[in-house]
Structure 1
Amino acid sequence: MNDDPRAEVFQLQAEFCKSLADPKRLMIIHELRDGEKSVGELAERLGLKQSNTSQHLAVLRKAGVIAPRREGNTILYSLTDPMIGQACDIVRDFIAGQLRSKQTLAGVI
């Protein structure tokens, strides 16, 4: 057993990150940065089936990444906090920088 009081926080962080660890979910988060969207809108924009999109939304909702809002017969989804989109941007920018470095290095060799 780990006696480090931070262990529980790191466990929760790992579970949160696991919910993001899918390219389609990251694409959904990217789309929701511009505002709330329905399952149908997300599916169409991302070229996914509605059922598949709904499954990904359920994972993100369970993790607290997104929240639903009913408007008539439509459920609209939005990010629970803009920091989620910003965090994903930071990671993507880091990866893009690594790729540029590798390409530059490959051009030198």
Structure 2
Amino acid sequence: MCRSVQDDSDLAYVALAKHFAMLAEPTRLRILYLLRDQELNVGALAQQCHCSQANISRHLHALTQHGMLRREARGNTVYYQAMDSSVYVLCTLACDKLSQQSQQQAALFGAVRPGAD
């Protein structure tokens, strides 16, 4: 499963699970997408995510510690920028899969719907 790891150790799977755990929070995904092509500060992210600055700061800290964001202080303001482009590839694959499943379910339910011709 972990092709980049030479051995099939539990540590590799723990690291992979931690990586996915970072992405298992909707606010973190929104933050990552907002920072995909621009730098933003805590206040701007809080406003766009409709969350408190404290909540955004907590998520920013976790994402920064995990290496997904870069933090840069400019004067009294700290700006954040995405660092890990593989996140977007992974999310695109997941979104494509969800869309495909949704279309398959819609086709299935349309075919078995009572009164459908």
Please state how far the C-alpha of 1:10 moved relative to its aligned partner. Answer: 2.3
- The alignment's C-alpha RMSD in Å is 1.6
TM-score relative to the length of structure 1: 0.86
Q: Does 1:75 align with 2:60?
A: no
Report the secondary structure of 2:67's partner residue: coil
Quick one: distance in 2 between partners of 1:106 and 1:96?
15
Confirm or deny: 8 A CA contact 1:20 1:60 kept in the other structure. no
- Residue deviations 1:39-91, cap 9 Å, x none? 11111111111111111111111211112011221111111122222222221
Give the aligned partner of residue 3 of structure 2.
none
Quick check: which one's helix share is greater?
A: 1
Q: Which has the larger radius of gyration?
A: 2
Give matches, 1:6-45, under 5 Å: 6-7=8-9, 8-45=11-48
Confirm or deny: 8 A CA contact 1:39 1:53 kept in the other structure. yes
Q: Does 1:102 align with 2:105?
A: yes
Quick one: distance in 2 between partners of 1:71 and 1:35?
15
TM-score relative to the length of structure 2: 0.81
2:49 to 46, 50, 53: 46
Q: Which runs of 5+ in 2 are unaligned?
A: 1-5, 113-117
Q: Which runs of 5+ in 1 are unaligned?
A: none
Which letter does structure 2 place at the counterpart of 1:70? Answer: A
The 10-residue stretch of structure 1 (34-43 or 6-15) with the greater mean CA deviation from structure 2:
6-15
Confirm or deny: 8 A CA contact 1:40 1:50 kept in the other structure. yes
Q: Provide the identity percentage.
A: 30
- Bigger RCO (CA 8 Å, 6+ sep): 1
Which letter does structure 1 place at the counterpart of 2:64? Answer: R
- Residue deviations 1:1-33, cap 9 Å, x none? xxx823222221111111111111111111111
Aligned length: 106
